[in-house]
Amino acid sequence: MSASLSYLERSKLHSNPTAKAFLELMERKKSNLSVAADLNKKAALIELADKVGPYICLLKTHIDVVEDFDQDLVDQLTALAKKHDFMIFEDRKFADIGNTVKLQYGSGIYKIASWSDITNAHMVPGEGIVQGLREVGLPLNRAMLLLAEMSSAGTLAKGDYTVQTVEVARKYKDFVVGFIAMERYADKEGDDFIYMTPGVGLDQTSDGMGQQWKHPREVVFDRGCDVIIVGRGIYGGGRDAAKEAKRYQEAGWNAYVERISK
């Protein structure tokens, strides 16, 4: 089972260059923390990325909420990714037909494929969405996650939807490298998907608006997932973002070391 292997050992099994480099980065940096930077001002996003950069493996953005987006923001974020050794994940959650998502991914204002190492998509439209994104992303050595589950109360992404999402991922392993999911699924021969889990918190269990938080150890050790995604728990409510990022980095990494040592 891939969950029992180290990130470095798993990196040798991947054909997708971004997945390989990402797993190597996690091992090198001793971090399985992704910060969800849901901020709507360019300066605030850049400041946060610089503060948490030393502690994260992945910066997760919602670029379309940034009110003063421009190319300089992209340039600064990619420079910070190089400076601090992290990757960028644009949490776009594509959900349209193949031809439309090709344009959304590669063109338009944001040109996501030109700067985001990883993106993601819903499987509601069927596997044509994967084919469309793959046409744009694969030549650029990008990678994609599929939303197999979500962390919000009442989500419809579960059951048969999740099962079918995993089957589609198995058909496109050169581009689909993992899932947004709440737990690791049973591997078939040749599987080694990267599991990223949102809704992680050390201090709270709910935000009163449907978001449900789980402890890093529950996510990484008990459920076998690989990356913890944390947002407001690190920078919300006037928290010291650097201090909190270090705390989550240590909690996530300790759970991973415990998992592969058991």
Q: Is residue 91 annotated as part of the catalytic site, yes or no?
A: yes
Residue 38 marked as a ligand binder: yes
42, 93, 173, 246: the catalytic one is 93
Residue 173 marked as a ligand binder: no
Would you mind telling me the total number of residues written for the chain in this entry?
262
SS3 258: helix
Asked if 142 and 156 touch (Cβ cutoff 8 Å), the reply is no
- CA–CA distance, 90 with 40 (Å, rounded to integer): 14
164, burial (CB in 10 Å: exposed 0-12, middle 13-18, buried 19+): middle
Phi/psi at 12 (nearest 5 deg)?
-75, -15
Q: What's the one-letter identity of residue 209?
A: M
Q: What's the one-letter identity of residue 27?
A: E
SS3 140: helix
Backbone torsion region of residue 30, taken as left when φ is above 0, otherwise alpha when ψ lies between -120 and 50, otherwise beta:
left
Gyration radius from the chain CA atoms: 17
96, 174, 191, 207: the catalytic one is 96
Residue 211 marked as a ligand binder: yes
**Alpha helix (H) ranges present in 98-240?**
98-106, 128-137, 160-171, 216-217, 232-235
Neighbours of 245 (CB within 10 A): 25
Residue 231 marked as a ligand binder: yes
Q: Is residue 93 annotated as part of the catalytic site, yes or no?
A: yes
- CA–CA distance, 71 with 121 (Å, rounded to integer): 24
29, 51, 91, 117: the catalytic one is 91
Q: Is residue 30 annotated as part of the catalytic site, yes or no?
A: no
**Which residues fall in the annotated binding site?**
38, 60, 151, 211, 231-232
**Catalytic positions, please?**
91, 93, 96
Per the annotation, where are the binding residues for substrate?
38, 60, 151, 211, 231-232
